[in-house]
Structure 1
Amino acid sequence: MNVDEKVGRNIRKYRMAYNMTLKELAVRLHKSVSTVSKYEKGDISTFLELSKIFKVSPLAIIGDEIAEEEEECTYAETIEKLYMYSYDGIGKVIVKSVIEQQAVEGKNNKYKVHLFNDVSEVKEPGECGGLYTGEYEKEGFIGTYMLHNQALKSEHIMISCVNNLVNPGQQLALVSGLSNYTMLPVTFKAVISEKEIVNKEKLMNLLTFNKEDLKLMKQMNYLTIQNIR
């Protein structure tokens, strides 16, 4: 895939994540639908204006190939891609999400973050159930995401993470926010991984609350996760 194709694919990804039609984006850009369609096919002439609309760094649209040509940049050149998994107890399904984050220059412990929640295909994260943006900050083996739903401005989520002692490439996490079903505060488990996890049995073991979790919650009167898996 050449640079132009990658730019076009990124434009389409963010447009879909914002649940925005070609016509709606065309209105925002004061362009015709046919012109915007051409952008998604690789015309990068207006990527700066697009980055403002999507609230992302221009580098997130351009991609790594051109990043090294930028002399002044707010974010690091590399976009780190992570995979997040949670379990929907009502639908009885494992929910897959994709996290894209860039380190803030001069602050290697702080990142600009986009969370594509509930994706059907990790290779096409724009086709998601919702887009959350915000920041991630880490200190040692712990980290915190503070994210905002771009479709529902009143919804915010916090993801508290700790490195998995058994699998260093994974983080065990608790996600706190509003339930889409009840619109009441909820907390649930999640796993954030550097690589895709295809073993469903392993995921279910990590994502569901067991008897020991419930026993600990009853003793402590708060919900926590045990870092031994």
Structure 2
Amino acid sequence: MNKINQEVGKKIKAFRKSKNMSVQQFADVINKSKGTVSKYESGDISIDVVTLYQIAGALNIRVEQLLYYDLRQASSLNTIPSTFFKNSNRLFSYCYDGRSKELIRCVMDLLPEPDTNRYKTMFYMNVRSFESYQECENTYWGYTEHYDSITTIILKNQATPIENMTINILASFLETEKKWGLMSGVSFRPFMPISLKMLFSKIPLVENQELINELKISKDDIRIMKIYNMLAIT
């Protein structure tokens, strides 16, 4: 069985499940039989380009999100001026939701091929597990730009395009395994502008109370907010 077919099939299945669609419901949308869709998802048969775009449209995602990239061999990010992002096609990030008192896991994929000075970026927020991170609460599509002293990530919610998010990461030129970032945008629970501190890592972190305490707004954060009258993450 072709590995590429398997990986593409796994992504189709994950996105379908994240939309709460049964195999039959999805088959009806793309005008295929239930058996054919099952074979797509298992990787038993290849998918032609036209059908792949049709599937992406039915799932309300970009076709690039279904493609397979060998992250071990991809090398196009090794020339990025940002040391933290160098050779990193996938990053893991965390934030804390004080309303539900839950740790929120996120995954960010950067496509191996840069588009001019931008890197296409897919962001999956509130994932259930890193093994099937396409099954998440919200998916975003956008791009990443690296500057001398800051990295800026601009994202749009694929389900609700009115929701735009910007993430800024300072001093990404430093060699480190973790970096703090500030996400700013609009929340829909409730509907209002928000800013959120996020921790980015090259590898999944141990999810314990220590991590949660780091992600919470601290007394020092409040002290800085009082000084500048703004939420600042460095």
TM-score by length of 2: 0.78
Letter of the 1:126 counterpart: Q
Equivalent residues of 1:18, 1:130 under 8 A apart: no
- Alpha-carbon distance between aligned partners in 2 of 1:205 and 1:167, rounded to the nearest angstrom: 24
Q: Secondary structure of 1:57's partner? A: helix
In structure 2, the partner of 1:5 is 6
1:69-110 Cα shifts (integer Å, max 9, x gaps): xxxxxxxxx981211100011111110011111144364x52
Matched, 1:89 2:91: no
C-alpha spacing 1:164/1:172, structure 2 compared with 1 (3 Å): farther
In structure 2, the partner of 1:56 is 63
**1:123-202 alignment to 2 at 5 Å?**
123-163=131-171, 168-202=176-210
Letter of the 2:3 counterpart: N
Matched, 1:212 2:220: yes
Matched, 1:120 2:121: no
- Alpha-carbon distance between aligned partners in 2 of 1:217 and 1:206, rounded to the nearest angstrom: 17
Letter of the 2:196 counterpart: F
Aligned length: 214
Q: Secondary structure of 1:140's partner? A: coil
Unaligned runs of 5+ in 2: 75-86
- Alpha-carbon distance between aligned partners in 2 of 1:19 and 1:149, rounded to the nearest angstrom: 18
Larger mean Cα displacement after TM superposition, 161-170 or 138-147: 161-170
Equivalent residues of 1:17, 1:116 under 8 A apart: no
- Which of structure 1's runs of 4+ aligned residues deviate more than 4 A? 17-21, 163-167
Q: Secondary structure of 1:176's partner? A: strand
Letter of the 1:46 counterpart: D
In structure 1, the partner of 2:114 is 105
In structure 1, the partner of 2:32 is 31
- Alpha-carbon distance between aligned partners in 2 of 1:225 and 1:126, rounded to the nearest angstrom: 28
Letter of the 1:49 counterpart: T
1:163-210 Cα shifts (integer Å, max 9, x gaps): 479971222111112223211111110011111110524423431222
C-alpha spacing 1:203/1:141, structure 2 compared with 1 (3 Å): farther
Q: Secondary structure of 1:126's partner? A: coil
Offset at residue 21 of structure 1 (A): 4.4
Unaligned runs of 5+ in 1: 69-77
- Alpha-carbon distance between aligned partners in 2 of 1:117 and 1:138, rounded to the nearest angstrom: 22
- Alpha-carbon distance between aligned partners in 1 of 2:27 and 2:143, rounded to the nearest angstrom: 29
